[in-house]
Amino acid sequence: MKIKKKAFTLIEIIVAITITSMVLISIVQIFIFSWMFAKKIDSSRMMQENIKNFTEIIAEDVRNNWIDLTNTGSKETLKTWTWTNKTEYYLSNNSWSLIKVSDYSYCKDIKKESCFLVRKKGSEVEPLINSHIAFENLNFDISWNGKDIPKVTMNFTIRPAIKKWLSSKKVKKAKIIMQTTFSERLYRYKKK
């Protein structure tokens, strides 16, 4: 009488382990790719939100106040003024300091501390971006021909700040180079 064995052979076990490991590796790769893609999208969203926020702040300041036309030679600082106070916008290597960055090679080195867009209003200093974002350069070009409305053209390069989940290679790829123009309100010039 023959006894039927109901055990797996060694080859069946090896085949089953191979198939299971291939399926698990595929699932893990899909998960890692999805996680990295979500972080890239999140980083892009943060940069776009920051751009929207600080450009709205600067545009509102330029529209409601006067552009300091005596500052047209300085391309790294924008100054606006009212009868009561003066506001300055510039890059700083510290989010709460008055240390202006004039050498943009400092900002382009992604291993160093980030460069922040800072607003100084009177004696109060505040960063206009969060710590997830870093500037590489910033240029304000003030144009006025004496007849038309004064305009400020802002050129900048912004990138994500280095974080644990974002490599320096991906930071270099995620740069946004942008230019936008603001002008004072038109009604000031129509009254004349």
DSSP 34-65: HHHHHHHHHHHHHHHHHHHHHHHHHHHHHHHS
Which letter, b or e, does each residue of 129-149 get, where b requires 16 or more Cβ atoms within 10 Å of its Cβ?
Answer: beebbbbbbbebebeeeeeee
Residue 2: predicted pLDDT: 66
The strand ranges marked E within 55-188 are 66-67, 78-81, 86-92, 116-121, 124-127, 133-143, 151-160, 176-183
CA dihedral angle for residue 123, residue 126, residue 128, residue 129, rounded to 10 degrees = 150
pLDDT of residue 28: 96
DSSP state of 131: T
Among positive and negative, which fits the CA dihedral 119, 121, 125, 129?
negative
Question: Are the CB atoms for 59 and 153 separated by under 8 Å?
Answer: no
Ranges of each domain in the chain? 47-190
Q: Determine the pLDDT at residue 33.
A: 93
pLDDT for residue 88: 87
Q: What is the mean pLDDT of each run of 10 residues along the chain (192 residues)?
A: 72 94 96 89 87 92 84 76 81 70 70 79 84 85 80 88 69 84 69 44
Distance CA 45, CA 100 (A): 27
d(CA 122, CA 101): 20
- Which of 175, 133, 154 has its CA nearest to residue 55? 154
Model-level pTM?
A: 0.75
Single-letter amino acid, residue 130 = N
